[in-house]
Every structure is written in C-alpha cells, then in structure tokens.
Amino acid sequence: MEKGRTKVLEDLADAVERGKLPEMTELLAKGLSGGIRAESLLNDGLIRGMMRLGVKFKNHEVFVPDVLVASRALKKGSEILRPALSGEGVAPIGVAVVATVKGDLHDIGKTLVGIMFEGVGIRVVDLGVDVDAETLGKAIICHKPDIVALSALLNTTLNQLAEAISALDRAGLRRRVRIMVGGSPVTEEFAARIGADGYADDAVTAAQTARNILEQARRER
Amino acid sequence: MPNNEALYETRLKRFNDAVALKEPDRLPVAPWVDGLPYALYPEIGATHKSALYDYEKAMAAHIRFHEEFQPDANCTNSMFLNGPAADYLKPTMMDWPGRAGTPLPDSSIYQMFEIEYMKESEYDELLADYTKFIFNKYLPRSFAGLEGLSGFRIDPSVAIMNLPLAPLAAPEVQAALENLIRYGKDQAKANEAFGAFVGRMIGLGFPPVFTSYAEAPFDVLSDYFRGTLGTLYDQAERPEKIRAACGLFAGIQKERLASLKDAPLPVKRVFIPMHKGMDGFISDEQYRDLYWEPFHGILKLLVDIGYTPIIYTEGAYSTRVRFIREKLLEFPPGSCMIHFEKGDFAELKKLFSGVACIFGGVPMQMLEFGTRAEVVERVKYLVDSCAAGGGYILDASGAIENAKRENIEAMFETARSA
Ligand code: B12
C-alpha cells in the first residue's frame, strides 16, 4: 500500500507538472478511493508538482504556457479535493488578494504570481487589472486576506502602488494585511521606499516570500 | 554654423555609417521620444491628445525638442494617429485621450488592450478565407463603427440585375461602408500632415529613422487576434494552428512590403517591434519554429529589396541573442539594426560586432527617476564599451515618455563630449 501511495502521489505531481487534466482527475479518484488523505493528495501531489514546475520556470527550463496549463490542472484538482479537505478540517495556509493597479492592464505577471501562490497552498482572490484602492479596500473587508499582492508594469502606474498603500492606510485597513509589490519596473528599494512589506523579482520567489511572511505572522501571533 | 542641408547630410551619413558597421565621424545620438517633448515644454500646451487631434501643436513641441537637443535623427516615435477617425470608427482594442467619456487624461499616450478578436475555435475560418473572416468578423469586432460589416455578403444566387448586392440595402451595412469611405478621406489628410512633418524635419536637418513598419506574424496573432493569454494557451494546445496563421500573415505582409521596393523614400528602414518573443514567454523550439521562421521571410524580403529592418526587442532577450545573431549572419554584415531594452551592452556589442548595429542602453527609469550622476556614468559606460568602430547608436531603453530635464541634458552632453 505504502508503495502504491507513493506512486499515486508521484504520478499526481507529474500530471500537474505536465498539465495533464484527465490523468490527474483519474489519479485523484484513485487516491481518494484508496484511502489517501486529501491533504496529502494536495500537498504531496498537486502542490509538489506545481512547486517543481515553478523552479523549472525560474531556471528557464519551462515557459509561461506550461505554467498556465499546469495551473489549470492545479485549480481543477483543488476543486475536486475541496469537499474532502473540509471534511478533514484542512484550511489553506493563508489568503491573498492579487491585483494589477489602477490604470494598468498588464495581466500576466500578476496572474503568474497568483498561480505560484496557489502552488504553495495559499488561497487566491484575483481582482484582475485596473483595480483602484476602493475596490481593494472592499476586497480586504470581504475576503480578510493575509496578503495583498499588487502588480504594476508601467512607469506611469508605479506611483499607483504608493497611492494604494496610502489609501489603505487612510481607510484604516493597512495594518490588517501584509502588502507585496512587484512588476518589471519595481525595484526592492522602490518597494521599501513606499512602505511595502515584501517584494520579489519573479513569481516563484514571490510565492516563497509570501510563505515566509505567513510563517512569520503565525509566529508573531 | 553649417546650414540645415549640410547638417542633414552629415547626420544621415553618421547614422548610415554606424548601421553599416563603419566608424562614424562621431557617435550618433538618437533617443526616441514619445511624450517627452510635451513634458519638457508645457508652455506649448501640447499633449498626447494633440498628437491625435491637433497636429500643429504636437509638431511644435517635437520641433522645439529637436532644435534644443540636436539629435542625429528625427526621433519622434509615434505621431499623427488619426483621432477624428477613431471617434466614429470606435476601435475596441484601445482607449485614447480625447475619446468622449475616456478616463484618460490628455497627457496619457493611447492605451492598447487586448481582446480575443478571434476565438480558439475560429482559426480554421481565418485560414479557409482570410478576407471573409476579416470583413464579417474581425472588423465588426474590432471597430464598433464597423459592426454593420457583419452583414456584408455578396450572394451570387439569382443574380438578375444587381440582386447579388441586395444585402447593401441594410442601413447597418451602409453605415459601416460610409464610415470606411469617410475614414479613407480622413486618413489621406493625416498622411499628408505626417508627410509634411517629416518633410519639415528634413528641412531642419533631421533625417527620419524609419519610413515604414512591419510586425512579426506571431506578434500580429498575439496582439490583435488571440490576445497574449489566448496565444499562450494555443502554444501549449494548438501550435500547428499558430504556425498556419503565421504563415498566412507573413504572406500578406510580404505583399505590402514588396511594393516598397521602388518607393521614393528619404531613408529605407522598416521599424519592427518585437512583442511576445522575450525570455520566458516561449520555449526555444517554439521561438525558432513559430516566431522566427515566418518572420525570417519578412526580414529576407526587406534585405533583398534594399531596406534595413529595425528589430526592436522589448523585454529580456538573454536566452535569444545567440540564436538571433546566427540568423542575422545569413544576411550581409550591417543589414539589420537591433534595439535592446535590457541586457549587458558590452556583451551585446561584442556579440553583434560584424553582424548588426545595436542601439539602446540608457534605461528609461533612470532618465525619469535617477540622478544626473547616474546618467553620466551610464552613458560613459555605453560610449566606452560600444562606440568604437561603429555598429552602435545611443538611445534609451524605450521611447521616452517622461524624464528629468537635467538627465536628458546629461545624456546628450556626455555622449558628445566623450
Ligand atoms: C504583454 C504586454 C502588453 C499587453 C498586456 C496583455 C495582458 N493580458 O497582460 C498589452 C498589449 C495590453 C500592453 C499594453 C500596453 N503596454 Co505593455 N507590455 C507587454 C509586454 C510585452 C509583456 C508584459 C508581460 O506580460 N510580461 C511577462 C510577465 C511574466 O512578466 P512581469 O509582468 O514582469 O511579471 C513578473 C515579475 O515582474 C513579477 N511580478 C509581476 N507582478 C508582481 C507582483 C508582485 C506582488 C510580485 C512580488 C512580483 C510580481 O513576477 C512575474 C513573473 O515572474 C511588456 C514588455 C516587457 N518587457 O515586459 C510591455 C510593456 C510592459 N508595456 C509597455 C507599454 C508602454 C504599454 C502601453 C502603454 C502601450 C500603449 N501605448 O498602448 C499599453 C498600456 C496599457 C495599460 N494601460 O496597461 C512598456 C512599459 C514601459 C514602462 N516601463 O513604462 C513595456 C515594458 C514595453 C516597452 N518596452 O515599451 N502591453
């Protein structure tokens, strides 16, 4: 049985990594009926596959299309497991709201950040692009995220990152969340200067940083 | 003081020498500008909106910029897009300053966004009949003012008298066709104004950088048909359709470009922006097969008819440059120019030496947010590592929207005193 279990989890990780939806669905059914805990199917199967893919993406071994296709599998897999997971009392390690700032329509970097967040077990609420501070504030109240991740790709929308942070501050919401910023023109110094809590150069590092932030927050509590 | 005509000749030769990989009399400095002249001379009152609706005013700002900084070419990048025509054609793939109800300020450049104008299930329709797809689906989707074209069909059955043309009785079809005619007339005026601007700049001594444009077929598909995201999924799920569509687009573009052969243009260079081929977006194999292969035919045609393609990369290209160099080696040395937004310029210069003229190098972020000292240091580095022997033109990492005046001054002064 143990060997069968390891094989199912390994195949599952592999199916996510290669974005093979039907294969993954079949393996999940097999795992669940074989008595593997949903938590393990998620963490040691699906998420492990996504993490492996993330590392390969960072090293230029796989490319954006591979990540998108894999993320579709991961999403579907998480949906399939959701009832079993709540039966086991398993909750995601944290919640993140991701968005591209007001005036900016660049979607892909932000979407990849969301995908990699999900790939480390964070539940993601994606608000899309061109998101103003008011919408952000409402989402914080409604979804109670631990992390807000904001993306900006244009020199002309860089200041919207600062604008969003100060608007959340004025609305008394700033201290409820950790704010991460990124996007190609954003630098670490810029992130520090505008009072963000985290920055990363790429989506994989962003997810690791988010995990560290969540762990640190847990220790502080 | 040399007169403008002499200046024109000197500058043109300087630029051409650098492109031909010969040592120019001095380093050509030609930073492309978008909104910068509007920002530098607020007293003129020009904005991006003027570039769409008030050509005279926009022109005044660009002329002032060139007179003040004396670059080695006409560096005005985007101008004279047809604002009034956009008001009735109503393109759905962009917003622009001056559109009724736009949230954009007048100072904003037009803003492209992407819509899937062609669904993943429609590749076969496009491939089977390009013209039908363009008329009945693509144009109605991409211009609200052309929606009526979806009903524009010529039915040859019972072809008595003029019956095949009967669909033209529909008011929506007529409205769309009227908009097309109206556009044609307006565009002729815009072309004339743009021609006059180029002519005036030549009179002032500034040769144009390019006189036509083209786009890699893969980018055409991604930018205007499937969207970036849609194309990324297609790369994984239906690459053979991408290949077929790119072949189709390449053929159509080549027909247009071939007609430039004997056009009486002051310079023969074609601007080609590279949008979706950067590191990470596409695997090496797909880059070769889907991106470069159909594009290469366009390059070859241009080189064959005596034009210099200006390959304008956007984003990081570190994983691509060696491959691109190999491909450019198929042409005579100095046939192409290639712009880089990012990368180690000392390395790039070495890599492309004897192959193609590179340009770029001063980060836009530095010009806008950095210090004078940083700009001086950067330009010195570029001069030291790239200028010798030709094959390099000093430019920013992209067309400049905004910058500190002192940084622009530092860029020109340092490049010229070196
Ligand atoms: C695709 C694209 C578009 C598409 C976007 C389609 C879409 N669905 O997203 C379209 C055509 C709509 C577009 C429009 C425009 N664009 Co554009 N676009 C690009 C392009 C080619 C790729 C962007 C991209 O997807 N990159 C890939 C992703 C994976 O990278 P990324 O976004 O940087 O994200 C990574 C990291 O930055 C990080 N990250 C991202 N977000 C976050 C967030 C957090 C919290 C963290 C931690 C990390 C992080 O992780 C990501 C993955 O590893 C870039 C070129 C480039 N060099 O990037 C230009 C570029 C960004 N665009 C540019 C411009 C100027 C425009 C337009 C103004 C052009 C115009 N006049 O219309 C419009 C503006 C529209 C608007 N209001 O937003 C310029 C910006 C220059 C500047 N710095 O100001 C660029 C750099 C091109 C250039 N060289 O001129 N664009």
Question: How long, in residues, is chain A?
Answer: 221
Per-residue pLDDT reduced to its tens digit, A107-158:
999 999 999 999 888 999 999 999 999 999 999 999 999 999 999 999 889 9
For residue B416, pLDDT over 60 is answered with yes
Cα-to-centroid distance, A106 and ligand 1 (Å): 5
Q: What is the DSSP string of A117-173?
A: HHHTTEEEEE--SSB-HHHHHHHHHHH--SEEEEE--SHHHHHHHHHHHHHHHHTT-
CB nearest to A155's CB, from B113, B235, B365: B365
Cβ–Cβ of B228/A69 closer than 8 Å?
Answer: no
Per-residue pLDDT, averaged over B355-375, amounts to 95
Cβ–Cβ of A155/B364 closer than 8 Å?
Answer: yes
Greater confidence (B300 vs B417) lies with B300
User: Given pLDDT bands bounded at 50, 70 and 90, which one contains residue B1?
Assistant: low
Share of chain B above pLDDT 90, in %: 85
C-alpha span between B47 and A176 (Å, rounded): 41
CA B1 and chain centroid, separation? 34
Residues 98-157 of A with CB under 8 A from B: 105, 107-108, 111, 155-156
- Closest CA to ligand 1's atom 55: B315
Per-residue pLDDT, averaged over A49-78, amounts to 92
Residues whose CB is less than 8 angstroms from the CB of residue B331 and which lie 6 or more positions away in sequence, other chains included: B299, B300, B303
> Could you tell me if B158 lies within 8 Å of chain A, comparing CB atoms?
no
Cβ–Cβ of A64/B232 closer than 8 Å?
Answer: yes
Mutate which: B342, B365, B367, B404, vs A, most A CBs within 10 A: B365
> Which chain B residue lies closest to A185 (C-alpha atoms)?
B365
User: Given pLDDT bands bounded at 50, 70 and 90, which one contains residue A1?
Assistant: low
State the average pLDDT for chain B.
94
Signed CA dihedral, B165, B169, B174, B175: sign only = negative
Residue from A184, A208, A213 whose mutation best tests the ligand 1 pocket (most atoms within 8 A of CB): A184
CB nearest to B281's CB, from A63, A107, A156: A63
Per-residue pLDDT, averaged over B309-317, amounts to 95
Q: What is the pLDDT of residue B81?
A: 83
> Could you tell me if A63 lies within 8 Å of chain B, comparing CB atoms?
yes
State the average pLDDT for chain A.
93
Whether the ipTM is more than 0.85: the answer is: no
The neighbouring-strand residues paired with B337 are B310, B357
Per-residue pLDDT, averaged over B321-327, amounts to 98
Signed CA dihedral, B254, B256, B261, B265: sign only = negative
For residue B162, pLDDT over 80 is answered with no
Per-residue pLDDT, averaged over B223-246, amounts to 94
Per-residue pLDDT, averaged over A41-46, amounts to 94
Q: What is the pLDDT of residue B48?
A: 94
- Select the highest-mean-pLDDT range: A117-121, B26-30, B104-108: B26-30
User: Given pLDDT bands bounded at 50, 70 and 90, which one contains residue B79?
Assistant: low
User: Given pLDDT bands bounded at 50, 70 and 90, which one contains residue B157?
Assistant: confident
Using an 8 Å CB-CB cutoff, list chain B residues near A19.
236
Count of Cβ atoms closer than 10 Å to residue B264 Cβ: 4
Mutate which: A63, A161, A189, A202, vs B, most B CBs within 10 A: A63
Contact A135, A104 (CB under 8 A): no
C-alpha span between B328 and B334 (Å, rounded): 9
For residue A207, pLDDT over 80 is answered with yes
Contact A125, A98 (CB under 8 A): yes
Distances (CA, A) of A173 to A102, A127, A150, A170, A219: 18, 17, 15, 8, 21
Greater confidence (B345 vs A187) lies with B345
Q: Which residue type, as a one-letter code, is found at position B359? A: F
For residue B3, pLDDT over 90 is answered with yes
Relative to beta strand A94-100, strand A147-151 is parallel
The structure's pTM equals 0.90
Q: What is the pLDDT of residue A3?
A: 78
Q: Write down the number of H helices and E strands in chain A.
A: 10, 5
